[in-house]
């Protein structure tokens, strides 16, 4: 069975774009793959979160993924900082990661530009830690978004380099699993910018209150409206329809579609309907998030089991790697 590893940065608050993109696919993958999903709290240290933010965010992400249907019985869900084996592999891989290639990474250059006052070594070696996350479980597949492709390519480089250096086949070369076509519904932002994203500031999160959803949807960008029958929709309008297609009933979508075609559409009405349908869609998820986030006993059980399963897999790989490199214990 193929082994899948994926990490989630612990910044909290999944949005509708995450839900219809990565999360839905993770949930499908856990049925027929051996899946490891983890919360990348070590990675989040590159931006120096406060201790209480760090903890709250990890808890929120854990509750959100569980609420969406990541099933701890089917996949190993764990918190990165519970698995110290990852850090040892990170150190070992660092010895064969070169300054030049790390400096050339796009995500490093972007971050260095975004936070010039804090260009720390953790940022530089971010791809090495990510490679350790992946290689420690000998992953075959890594579901990632487009922005992570280069980091994954580096993980492949480090895997090949290790295998070649010691003339072994320890690490499978992890392949990107990119969701596309019918598996990937790209959810647009409400500002007409194309893609819903947390950093774009145009996202509706799964935990968002109804009042805030209404406010955001009512503020969505539109145009002056169609003036001719059968006009093609400009992007900002198509975006509203795309959102509607994922949360509303088909007859609701066709009602507004027809209204667009014969120029009788009123965007105010459409937005009101869209807001209510988003609320109906997210309500049960939000309730589950809140319920799970309150259940400390459950969260602690999930995290503990996950850590145990992840450490079992990780320590096997690490033992093998230590031996290959030449570490022998004297006791
Ligand atoms: N870098 C990923 C992101 O920002 C998160 C991540 C960390 C990850 N380690 C990983 C993803 C390992 C896949 C595999 O989204």
User: What does each of the 331 residues of the chain score in pLDDT, given as a tens digit?
Assistant: 899 999 988 776 899 988 988 888 899 999 999 999 999 999 999 999 999 999 999 999 999 999 999 999 999 999 999 999 999 999 999 999 999 999 999 999 999 999 999 999 999 999 999 999 999 999 999 998 788 899 999 999 999 999 999 999 999 999 998 776 666 678 888 887 778 887 777 899 999 999 999 999 999 999 999 999 999 999 999 999 999 999 999 999 999 999 999 999 999 999 999 999 999 999 999 999 999 999 999 999 999 999 999 999 999 999 999 999 999 999 9
Domain 3-185+295-325 class in CATH: alpha beta
The helix/strand/coil state of 218 is helix
- pTM for the full predicted model: 0.91
Quote the strand ranges of the chain, DSSP E.
3-9, 34-40, 76-79, 141-143, 175-177
Domain 210-290 class in CATH: mainly alpha
Q: What is the pLDDT of residue 181?
A: 65
Q: 277 with 216: CB under 8 angstroms? A: no
**Backbone torsions φ then ψ of 31, nearest 5 degrees:** -70, -35
Question: Which of the residues are catalytic?
Answer: 111, 195, 198
Looking at the chain, the domain(s) classified CATH 1.10.240.10 span: 210-290
Q: What is the pLDDT of residue 82?
A: 98
Question: What residue's CA is closest to ligand 1, atom 7?
Answer: 7
Q: What is the pLDDT of residue 197?
A: 81
Looking at the chain, the domain(s) classified CATH 3.40.50.620 span: 3-185+295-325
In residues, how long is the chain? Answer: 331
Q: What is the pLDDT of residue 230?
A: 93
CA-based end-to-end distance of the chain: 36
Spatial separation of the C-alpha atoms in residues 220 and 241, rounded to whole Å: 12
Neighbours of 49 (CB within 10 A): 17
Q: What is the Å distance from ligand 1's center to 137 Cα?
A: 14
Give the strand pairing for 34-40 and 141-143.
Answer: unpaired
Spatial separation of the C-alpha atoms in residues 49 and 81, rounded to whole Å: 15
Supply 238's token pair: 């198509």
Could you tell which of 144, 153, 176, 198 is best to mutate to test the pocket of ligand 1, judged by most ligand atoms within 8 Å of the CB? 144
Q: What is the Å distance from ligand 1's center to 154 Cα?
A: 12
Spatial separation of the C-alpha atoms in residues 305 and 5, rounded to whole Å: 17
Q: What interhelical angle do 106-114 and 149-165 show, nearest 10? A: 130
Question: What residue's CA is closest to ligand 1, atom 4?
Answer: 9
Spatial separation of the C-alpha atoms in residues 148 and 126, rounded to whole Å: 11
Task: List, chain by chain if needed, residues with CB within 6 Å of any ligand 1 atom.
Answer: 5-7, 9, 40, 43, 130, 133-134, 142, 144, 148, 151
Q: What is the pLDDT of residue 214?
A: 96
Spatial separation of the C-alpha atoms in residues 275 and 209, rounded to whole Å: 11
Q: What is the pLDDT of residue 146?
A: 80
Spatial separation of the C-alpha atoms in residues 175 and 142, rounded to whole Å: 6
Give the strands of the sheet with 3-9, arranged side by side.
76-79, 34-40, 3-9, 141-143, 175-177
Ligand 1 atom nearest the C-alpha of 130 is: 9
Could you tell which of 9, 36, 87 is best to mutate to test the pocket of ligand 1, judged by most ligand atoms within 8 Å of the CB? 9
Q: What pairs with residue 176 in β-bridges?
A: 142
Q: What is the Å distance from ligand 1's center to 129 Cα?
A: 9
Q: What is the Å distance from ligand 1's center to 121 Cα?
A: 17
């Amino acid at each position: 069975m193929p082994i899948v590893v994926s990490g989630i940065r612990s910044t909290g608050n999944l949005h509708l774009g995450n839900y219809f993109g990565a999360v839905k696919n993770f949930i499908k993958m856990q049925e027929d793959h051996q899946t490891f999903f983890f919360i990348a709290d070590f990675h989040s240290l590159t931006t120096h979160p406060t201790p209480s933010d760090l903890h709250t965010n990890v808890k929120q992400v854990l509750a959100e993924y569980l609420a969406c249907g990541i099933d701890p019985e089917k996949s190993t869900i764990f918190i990165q900082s519970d698995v110290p084996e990852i850090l040892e592999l990170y150190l070992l891989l660092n010895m064969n990661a070169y300054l030049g290639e790390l400096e050339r990474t796009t995500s490093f250059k972007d971050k260095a530009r975004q936070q010039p006052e804090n260009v720390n070594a953790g940022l530089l070696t971010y791809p090495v830690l990510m490679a350790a996350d992946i290689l420690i479980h000998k992953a075959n597949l890594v579901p990632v978004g487009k922005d992570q492709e280069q980091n994954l390519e580096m993980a492949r480089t480090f895997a090949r380099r290790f295998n070649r250096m010691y003339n072994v086949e320890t690490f499978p070369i992890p392949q990107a699993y990119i969701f596309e076509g019918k598996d990937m519904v790209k959810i647009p932002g409400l500002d007409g910018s194309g893609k819903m994203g947390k950093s774009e500031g145009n996202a509706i999160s799964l935990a968002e209150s109804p009042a805030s959803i209404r406010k955001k949807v009512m503020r969505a960008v539109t145009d002056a409206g169609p003036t001719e029958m059968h006009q093609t929709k400009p992007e900002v309008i198509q975006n509203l329809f795309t959102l509607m297609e994922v949360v509303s009933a088909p007859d609701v979508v066709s009602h507004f579609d027809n209204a667009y075609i014969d120029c009788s559409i009123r965007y105010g009405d459409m937005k009101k309907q869209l807001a209510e349908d988003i609320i109906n869609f997210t309500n049960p998820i939000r309730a589950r998030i809140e319920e799970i986030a309150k259940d400390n006993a459950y969260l602690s059980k999930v995290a503990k089991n996950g850590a145990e399963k992840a450490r079992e897999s990780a320590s096997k790989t690490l033992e093998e790697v230590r031996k290959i490199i030449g570490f022998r214990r004297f006791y």
